Structure 1
Amino acid sequence: MTTGTPPPPAGPDTRVAVKDVFGIDSPLTVPAYREPTAHVPEVDTAYRFQPDVTLALLAGFARNRRVLVQGLHGTGKSSHVEQVAARLNWPCVRVNLDGHLSRLDLIGRDAVVLRDGQQVTEFQEGIVPWALQRPMALILDEYDAGRPDVMFVLQRMLESDGKLTLLDRNRVLAPHPAFRLFATANTVGLGNLNGLYHGAQRLNHAQIDRWHVVAALDHLPAEEEAAIVRSRVPSLADEDGRTLVAAMVAVAGLTRQGFRAGDLSTLMSPRTVITWAENTEIFGDPAPAFRLSFLNKCDEAERPLVAEYFQRCFDRELPESCAPAAT
């Protein structure tokens, strides 16, 4: 889309009660849209909101706060933003800031296009100016994986007026009143400290300081995580399935405790637990499904400890339990 195309002027046209929509005990109301458009994410009825993070995100939507969500992988950082947007019918788009993303990808570039049978050079907007001029929530996914030189493109957008300078076009773009900016990160710009997030960059603290709100997203309580797994795998919704899923979530909890204590170099995310449940449905046995879903991802020296976690929760031995532990 070219810079000459005017953005739609529409903004939020209604307000919704936080208590009614998100189930959070709060008297707040937030702006929203009556009808969804093509860029509104689909509602995930199984999603469980964490109240503190949800309120931080709602502050971003309601008061135009720049919100950075930090947490371990698999905790649902990007999904949390998307599901808040889905329930507000707020258009939303995600951009993964991988190491190959360039300034031209974000801002735009000159491209040769065919117009009236003639080849002409025309400036093609990148995703950032396109979203900036629209009632759109832009999510910068894996914010700490972006190259530092590319991240400075966003520096001006993080200031109070949120304007963006297009040096190639000698233009300064003002954001649409309903434009919102969010980001997700594993390390809050501290780099790959524990070796878990290869490719994470150390970011300039002056840029991190420009985010108005930094929310920390942790794993859900065991009961809520189990409810999500059962909703994803309906065949485990009966009484036996509930017992099985509870044991799976318990194993995941032990791996997280082991990771925090330094005994393990990896952990089970909620996404891995869901995969384990799905594979159990395929193979008919949680033991081989556990091996294929998580155990084979672990360091060989750590597998006996992980197998011990499984034995504690399922009262079953795995072959790895008998392997000699690393000294």
Structure 2
Amino acid sequence: MTDIVTGKPDRMVSVRTLFGIDSGLMVPAFSERDDHVPEIDEVYRFNPEVTLAILAGFMRERRVMVQGLHGTGKSTHIEQVAARLNWPCVRVNLDGHISRLDLVGKDAIIVRDDVQITEFQEGIVPWALQRPMALIFDEYDAGRPDVMFVIQRILERDGKFTLLDQNRVIHPHPYFRLFATTNTVGLGNLNGLYHGTQLLNHAQLDRWNVVATLNYLPRAEEAGIVLARVPELADEAGRALIESMISVAELTRKGFATGDLSTLMSPRTVIDWAENCQIFRDPAMAFRLTFVNKCDEAERPIVAEYFQRCFDRELESAAEREMRSTVPQ
């Protein structure tokens, strides 16, 4: 196994062969996998435009940001491209608990030769920067301001990173790559859906070379993914069930776009619904437990109407409604 710190891609692969995209591009890749390479998901469906944008990051050292609503598979898309290139990959979720010290590093007390000493422990940024590593910042627009300014340093063209505590300048590995995913492209929580997201300053956004948008899949492809995840539905009745489920999901997305709903069904939710159908053997009950109970109570009649429209039955039977009404609140 090649040392990850000194390793580099040792072969070129065809985009047409590897991803099924009509392109003559050749992309660098590794022959061997290591522990940081994501597992390949054989049923994953690639969006051609987003895939080419991500591949530009791997080929030409572009800083690539993938934007889109939740559940579209933004981070997974980057991981699955890396998996097929055997490219080591690490994801960092920029939630409110990630601090500047987590990214940069800090002094820590360790025991060496039975003696306690203080030693600087590198954070994830300098560690990844020195390796042929794809570093993904998830929820990029949720990062705290002090964290974002740390990231801004490695977004410069030369990407050098200064460890002030160590008086050391780290030069990025020639095959270090940087990606980010975001729900709002730095516009903040405009519609109330993504609490905790921040407005990103233009200097931050301007440093990303490529911004791709990943939308929900076409209906046929989404049905194919659900079927691949739940192969028990691979008969005529199962396919009809999946079609009805996706119809409900599409109505929730349209309702969200027009402001009728404050939440929507992502492909991930549809898969959960299909899996729960195998447990509860009732699409209505599985739907309530998968999605309806996550909705605002005032919006549940709208969701119930969507279900009735697509399944030609009420979401709750008369007996279930009566039983719910008698349960003490």
Instruction: Note the C-alpha offset of 1:320.
Output: 9.4
Instruction: Note the C-alpha offset of 1:7.
Output: 6.4
Note if 1:43 corresponds to 2:6: no
Q: Which position in structure 2 is the counterpart of 1:309? A: 306
Q: Give the Cα–Cα distance (whole angstroms) in 2 for the partners of residues 224 and 166 of structure 1.
A: 46
CA contact (8 A) 1:57 1:84 kept: yes
Q: Deviations over 1:5-35 (max 9, x none)?
A: x962111000110011101111111000111
Q: Which position in structure 1 is the counterpart of 2:181? A: 184
Secondary structure, in 3 states, of the residue corresponding to 1:191?
A: coil
TM-score (norm 1): 0.95
Q: Which position in structure 2 is the counterpart of 1:227? A: 224
Instruction: Note the C-alpha offset of 1:126.
Output: 0.5
Q: Which amino acid aligns with 2:121?
A: Q
Q: Which position in structure 1 is the counterpart of 2:243? A: 246
Q: Which position in structure 2 is the counterpart of 1:19? A: 16
Question: Which of 66, 76, 80 is 1:79 aligned to?
Answer: 76
Q: Give the Cα–Cα distance (whole angstroms) in 1 for the partners of residues 301 and 313 of structure 2.
A: 13
CA contact (8 A) 1:166 1:172 kept: yes
CA contact (8 A) 1:222 1:249 kept: yes
Q: Which position in structure 2 is the counterpart of 1:164? A: 161
Q: Which position in structure 2 is the counterpart of 1:65? A: 62
Q: Which amino acid aligns with 1:295?
A: V
Note if 1:271 corresponds to 2:256: no
Question: Which of 284, 292, 296 is 1:295 aligned to?
Answer: 292
Instruction: Note the C-alpha offset of 1:242.
Output: 0.9
Q: Give the Cα–Cα distance (whole angstroms) in 1 for the partners of residues 180 and 97 of structure 2.
A: 18
CA contact (8 A) 1:232 1:274 kept: yes
CA contact (8 A) 2:284 2:316 kept: no
Q: Which position in structure 2 is the counterpart of 1:175? A: 172
Q: Which position in structure 2 is the counterpart of 1:207? A: 204
Secondary structure, in 3 states, of the residue corresponding to 2:82?
A: helix
CA contact (8 A) 2:67 2:212 kept: yes
Q: Deviations over 1:74-94 (max 9, x none)?
A: 000000000000000000000
Q: Which position in structure 1 is the counterpart of 2:95? A: 98
RMSD: 1.4
CA contact (8 A) 1:16 1:32 kept: yes
Distance 1:320-1:299 versus aligned 2 partners, 3 A rule: farther
Task: Show structure 2 runs of 5+ residues with no match.
Answer: 322-329
Report runs of 4+ in structure 1 exceeding 3 Å deviation: none
Instruction: Note the C-alpha offset of 1:319.
Output: 3.6
Question: Which of 119, 130, 135 is 2:127 aligned to?
Answer: 130
Q: Which amino acid aligns with 2:156?
A: E
Q: Which position in structure 2 is the counterpart of 1:3? A: none
Q: Give the Cα–Cα distance (whole angstroms) in 2 for the partners of residues 28 and 13 of structure 1.
A: 16
Q: Deviations over 1:135-155 (max 9, x none)?
A: 100000111111012110111
Instruction: Note the C-alpha offset of 1:305.
Output: 1.2
Instruction: Note the C-alpha offset of 1:298.
Output: 1.0
Q: Give the Cα–Cα distance (whole angstroms) in 2 for the partners of residues 8 and 105 of structure 1.
A: 21
Secondary structure, in 3 states, of the residue corresponding to 1:155?
A: helix
Q: Deviations over 1:190-245 (max 9, x none)?
A: 11111101111112221111000011110000111111111111111122111111
Note if 1:29 corresponds to 2:26: yes
Q: Which amino acid aligns with 1:156?
A: R
Q: Give the Cα–Cα distance (whole angstroms) in 1 for the partners of residues 255 and 297 of structure 2.
A: 15
Secondary structure, in 3 states, of the residue corresponding to 1:168?
A: helix
Task: Show structure 1 runs of 5+ residues with no match.
Answer: 1-5
